[in-house]
Structure 1
């Protein structure tokens, strides 16, 4: 299992290199499969975050637009999720080996610390993908930015901090904390669930479901902030602090309105990370 503290640093060499390769490969394939399944749920959540609409209204809006529009913008999230899983699992596993060899941290803390580092790298690599995805899924951009090419051309004309790397700081905070918590709790929770007599595959699915559900709900306001910062193109360039204050005002400083879409986040997290964790752990155990 990735992130397990029982990796042995004295086994460095071709075996470790192959193990790291498997971590990158299996992380990418498991994330790709889960992304295809949950994209409609993600898009419904996004509409709620941007337009502040109830779930029924968001679903009705997507139904009126039809199946072709439903999967508009699917390419960036597929690429992003695949790269996300590749980097997250692969780098975390590589950092585990590096930190283990240095013996500067207790073994129980290694998965969480390595996860934090992987989350930072993930934010650097994936912020442009998330930016493009949020611009594509904002229906208010359909008229003046109808294609992926037009979006890329427009973002290239802007400074990085307001173009491709808009909302980089909150994304880094969200990803680093989320990854640290996920890998920190993944191993112990999976062992506890498997100890109840469940199969390893079911145990991994339940572990991914429970950990990601808790993390997603805790960090949901940050995701709402990111979506609202990244969805528009042009206009006044404001920092994350000003955007956060504007967001609170638009939600009438109501926690319930700020968490609108939270129920679907639970569903999305259950499906996405439950499947991802189960497939990844299964591949790792059967890679030989």
Structure 2
């Protein structure tokens, strides 16, 4: 590989990893709350949360404030390679999908986002399995098994396949593929349509606003896949019996048994996390990548 290409790849990987670490550190409590809403079922669920405020209050009262960071180790461990893969592969897929055009088109951004999302999903899914298991357990944080012990238990009991550490892979592919397809396409297309400004503060606000909308829209579009992923990877309704197996079958079951809006459970905390979180990731990546290009 030519030296300049290798250097560029290293810069993209480093900037993407930093973007992921910053985002997950700030937004993890909202991810935990989102997962709790997604795994609870109908009105007869005895542990059902009544509202977002009720969820925050009960977790704080019964599990302690540190419990808002349950399951954070898997995403912290995963975010550096995950986001590094996300942004690096997006840049590579952009080159692949130019189709002879001298500059990227909306088709380029859309297909590159889809490819980056599918690649990211394959990397992140084992970490998601561990994270969801830890997040859905309701005992105090201090009594919970570590992420490493939980992963070891999953591998020992179920193996590395689609019933074990890669459970819910199809739903994760759907979640990340759809999210990144919309996310990157919207951000880069709209950023190109709205002229940049010389004032650094206004330019930052321009990019942040576009990133915020991109993260929000992507969250709305992909949340049925997210709900399916949480159901497949979380505790089954009847212990020992697997009800949620594959992505589209799970979506159909949730729709049939709980109604259309059940496919949007956890949407508010998801938007609260990935709206600003999506903007944070894009901005950290862009500013870090620009800095690395100038000074390394």
User: What is the TM-score of this pair, normalised by structure 1?
Assistant: 0.84
Counterpart position of 1:212: 215
Shift, 1:197, TM fit: 7.3
List gaps (5 residues or longer) in structure 2: 41-47
- Cα distance in 1 between the residues matched to 2:115 and 2:249: 28
Cα distance in 2 between the residues matched to 1:194 and 1:202: 13
Q: Distance in 2 between matches of 1:202 and 1:15?
A: 32
Structure 1: tracts of 5 or more residues without a match: 1-11
Offset of residue 220 of structure 1: 0.9
Q: Which runs of 4+ in 1 moved over 6 A?
A: 141-145
Equivalent position of 1:32 in the other structure: 21
Residue 251 (structure 2) pairs with residue 244 (structure 1) = yes
Residue 25 to residue 42, structure 1, CA distance change in 2 (3 Å) = same
What residue in structure 1 maps to residue 44 of structure 2?
none
Question: Equivalent residue for 1:183?
Answer: 184
Q: Aligned equivalents of 1:68 and 1:235: distance in 2? A: 30
The partner residue of 1:229 within 224, 232, 239 is: 232
1:194: how far off? 4.2
Q: 1:145 to 1:267 in 2, by over 3 A?
A: closer
Of 20-29 and 90-99, deviating more is 90-99
Distance in 2 of aligned mates of 1:112 and 1:121: 14
- Residue of structure 1 in register with 2:45 after alignment: none
Paired residues of 1:27 and 1:280 also in contact (CA < 8 A): yes
Contact 1:221 1:258 in 2 (8 A): yes
Q: Which moved more, 1:222-231 or 1:112-121?
A: 112-121
What TM-score results when the alignment is normalised by the length of structure 2?
0.82
Q: 1:121 aligns with which of 119, 122, 130?
A: 119
Moved more, 87-96 or 191-200: 191-200
The alignment partner of 2:170 has SS state of helix
Cα distance in 2 for partners of 1:186, 1:69 equals 34
Q: Structure 1 residue 81: deviation in Å?
A: 2.5
Do 2:74 and 2:131's aligned partners in 1 also have CA atoms closer than 8 Å? yes
* Deviation, structure 1 residue 155: 1.4
Cα distance, 1:151 vs structure 2: 1.8
Return the alpha-carbon distance in structure 2 between the equivalents of residues 215 and 243 of structure 1: 21
CA separation of 1:197 and 1:221: change in aligned 2, threshold 3 A:
farther
